[in-house]
Amino acid sequence: MANPLLWDSRLMAEVLDAYPAPTVIVDDDMRILFASRAAREYLGLGGDAANSVFLQRGGQALRCLNAEVTAEGCGRAPACRDCMVRNSVQAVFETGTVQRAKAFLQLRSGAGIVDRFFLVSASAVRSEGRRVALLVLQDISELMQLKNMLPVCMSCGQIRNQQGAWQKLPAYLKEQADVDVTHGLCPTCLEKLYPE
């Protein structure tokens, strides 16, 4: 019979790898102890490169600009005091309660810089007497773009997309956020179209 603890570790790794959102297990200094398949894919790590993320702090793995400000890296720059990812993990260790927050990070992407919004979920976990945090980072940048102002035709209600083309709201939502729209009638239109 296999060692149940070893089996549990393998099972947990399989479960976390199956979860579709980037998930990591970190210590109290945000050092990555485990990265799920979705996290490795989000970070662009495949094959042998997947091991390079372990024991890096989260900001270094994500290539956060604030992690580049000081030689000490992630968590050591003045701006890191306001980092919602780090603060969520610290709150988990202090309170033991689940934390959820939105975070804005500027990340290095090749030679450029990209703005990213994340929905951060953190929860405390005890493992072999050691406290760690389960950290889920869902990139909600596309949803945040939808939240910003959209150019809408004041006559027909079509929306101008990023390419400058005008499209109806359902087509725009499908293209930008993979959202399907259903149709109905509001009470005012219902009364106007079907007065009786």
- The confidence score (pLDDT) of residue 120 equals 96
Query: Distance (Å, rounded) from C-alpha 166 to C-alpha 41?
Result: 34
List the CATH code of the domain at 4-140.
3.30.450.20
Per-residue model confidence (pLDDT) at position 147: 67
Helix (H) or strand (E) holding 136: strand 130-139
Residue-range domain boundaries for the chain:
4-140, 149-182
Identify which of 113, 179, 114, 168 has the alpha carbon closest to the alpha carbon of residue 146: 179
Which pLDDT does position 119 carry in this prediction? 94
Select from 56, 58, 60, 71 the least CA-distant residue to 23: 58
Percent of the chain exceeding pLDDT 70 equals: 91
> Mean pLDDT over residues 32-52, rounded?
83
Say whether pLDDT at 6 is over 60: no
Top-confidence range, 37-41, 110-114, 173-177: 37-41
Whether the per-residue pLDDT at 5 is higher than 50: the answer is no
Say what the pTM is: 0.69
pLDDT at res. 3: 46
Given a cut of 80, whether residue 14 has pLDDT beyond it is yes
Average pLDDT value for residue range 69-92: 93
Grade residue 137 by pLDDT with cuts at 50, 70 and 90. very high
Residue 125 makes CB contacts below 8 A (sequence gap 6+) with: 25, 131, 132, 133, 134
Q: Residue 1's pLDDT band (boundaries 50, 70, 90)?
A: very low
- Give the pLDDT of residue 172: 85
